[in-house]
């Protein structure tokens, strides 16, 4: 409710020209440019996402080994629980029949931890961006329809949002995993079903203000249909707000996928940072002080979640100037 009040207060007194300036893409470009010019942390978050996206794309070239294949020494035994080369004793690897070139060592069954870390970026960004797109689209469409049409349409959609608020998120994913095969797409499905609720309510509040503007009234007088007014005249004004909730959803999706994987409800055939933490936990890596196995995926999860928060915070300060630090 505070977000809805903030939107109404921020939009009050704006003219139609301020709501509609150029094409939707030009408005979104201008907002993005202002966000990253004003807020250095938002720019830092963008750089983090760009870095991990580049790592995910070039994973086959960067990773020295297959993340699933157990590595073996000259005798055919697994190279298990090997320290990183920069922590191992000189000559220890040669005595065991292999050359230690592992940046982060190996797991208890001889898998290369560094290769798993690289390939984990693919799962994280795939889940993050897929969930963000789904949440942004559903929340935007629901908010537009509820705010513009009002009446029974508004009542039905907002009561559906209330129901979504009442469903616990993590248990809901666990239930989905019980009905479907374990998959990273369960997280995307759960977020699509539940997390549109926040963006839809805020976007609805903004639509209630925008639809009273003169350019919307002019479109109605000219005979434009309701859907044409919604998606051609009103939607461009709320695209930056949709983008805001999309960036926040990226971090939530990555963190949720890591949580579900750690609990053991993810696809065992998909490498992710959460899967790495679960594998390390089950292998008693913490008791063996194998921090080189535990810390890197934790740092990657932390950085991507922080990146989404930084970008989202930058958007908030542009969309809601009253939040700006003095």
Contacts of 10 (CB under 8 A, 6+ apart): 319, 320, 321, 322
For the cut 90, the answer to whether the pLDDT of residue 168 exceeds it is: no
19 contacts 210 by C-beta, under 8 angstroms: yes
CB 283 within 8 A of CB 107: yes
**Residue 142 and residue 196 in contact, taking contact as beta carbons nearer than 8 Å:** yes
Q: Please count the other Cβ atoms lying within 10 Å of the Cβ belonging to residue 134.
A: 20
Question: Has residue 117 got a pLDDT over 90?
Answer: yes
**pLDDT score of 194:** 85
Task: Calculate helix-pair angle for 273-282, 291-319, nearest 10 degrees.
Answer: 150
- Confidence band of 95 (pLDDT split at 50, 70, 90): low
Maximum average pLDDT range among 10-19, 126-135, 185-194, 263-272: 126-135
142 vs 223 pLDDT, higher one? 142
pLDDT digits (tens, 9 = 90+) for 184-232: 888 888 888 888 888 888 888 888 888 888 888 887 888 778 788 888 8
**Residue 142 backbone zone (phi > 0: left; psi -120 to 50: alpha; other: beta):** alpha
Burial of 109 (0-12, 13-18, 19+ CB in 10 A): middle
> Residue 183: its pLDDT value, please?
79
For the chain, give the percent of residues with pLDDT over 70: 85
Tell me, what's the pLDDT at 29?
A: 67
Question: Domain 2-64+115-323 sits in which CATH superfamily?
Answer: MetI-like (1.10.3720.10)
In this prediction, residue 12 carries a pLDDT of 45
The pLDDT, as a whole number, for residue 28 is 60
pLDDT at residue 97 tops 90 = no
Q: What is the pTM of this model?
A: 0.80
Integer Cα distance of 252 and 196 in angstroms: 12
Q: What are phi and psi of 144, to 5 degrees?
A: -65, -45
What distance in Å separates the CA atoms of residue 11 and residue 120, rounded to the nearest whole number? 41
pLDDT at 57: 93
Q: What is the pLDDT of residue 156?
A: 92
Nearest to 250 by CA among 201, 177, 188, 193: 188
pLDDT winner (highest mean) among 70-84, 117-131, 185-199: 117-131
User: Domain locations in the chain?
Assistant: 2-64+115-323, 70-110
Q: Which of 56, 148, 70 is nearest to 108 (CA)?
A: 70
CA distance 228 to 226: 5
Asked if residue 118 has pLDDT above 90, the reply is yes
Q: Does residue 166 have a pLDDT over 50?
A: yes
pLDDT digits (tens, 9 = 90+) for 15-66: 333 444 455 556 666 666 776 777 788 889 889 999 999 999 999 999 998 8
Residue 274 pLDDT? 87
Query: Between residues 248 and 75, which one has the greater pLDDT?
Result: 248
Q: Tell me, what's the pLDDT at 312?
A: 80
Structure tokens at 137: 């689209």
Beta bridge partners of 106: 112
Highest mean pLDDT among 213-222, 230-239, 290-299: 290-299
pLDDT of residue 241: 80
């Amino acid at each position: 409710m505070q977000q809805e009040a903030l939107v109404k207060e921020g939009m009050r007194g704006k003219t139609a020209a301020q709501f509609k300036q150029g094409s939707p893409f030009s408005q979104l470009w201008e907002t993005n440019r202002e966000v990253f010019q004003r807020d250095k942390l938002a720019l830092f978050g963008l750089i983090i996402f760009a870095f991990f996206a580049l790592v995910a794309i070039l994973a086959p070239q960067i990773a020295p080994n297959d993340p699933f294949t157990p590595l073996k020494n000259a005798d055919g035994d697994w190279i298990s629980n090997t320290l990183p080369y920069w922590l191992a004793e000189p000559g220890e690897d040669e005595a065991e029949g292999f050359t230690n070139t592992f940046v982060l060592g190996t797991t208890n069954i001889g898998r290369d931890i560094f290769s798993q870390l690289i390939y984990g970026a693919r799962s994280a960004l795939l889940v993050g961006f897929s969930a963000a797109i789904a949440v942004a689209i559903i929340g935007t469409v629901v908010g537009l329809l509820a705010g513009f049409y009002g009446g029974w349409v508004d009542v039905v959609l907002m009561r559906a949002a209330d129901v979504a608020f009442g469903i616990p998120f993590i248990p809901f994913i666990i239930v989905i995993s019980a009905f479907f095969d374990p998959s990273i797409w369960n997280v995307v499905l759960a977020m699509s079903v539940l997390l549109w609720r926040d963006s839809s309510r805020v976007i609805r509040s903004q639509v209630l203000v925008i639809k009273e503007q003169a350019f919307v009234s002019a479109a109605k007088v000219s005979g434009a249909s309701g859907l044409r007014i919604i998606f051609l005249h009103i939607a461009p004004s709320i695209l930056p707000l949709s983008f805001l909730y999309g960036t926040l959803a990226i971090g939530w999706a990555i963190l949720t996928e890591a949580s579900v994987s750690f609990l053991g409800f993810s696809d065992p055939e998909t490498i992710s940072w959460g899967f790495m933490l679960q594998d390390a936990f089950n292998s008693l890596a913490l008791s063996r002080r194998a921090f080189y196995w535990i810390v890197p995926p934790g740092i990657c999860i932390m950085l991507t979640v922080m990146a989404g928060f930084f970008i989202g915070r930058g958007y908030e300060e542009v969309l809601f100037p009253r939040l700006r630090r003095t």
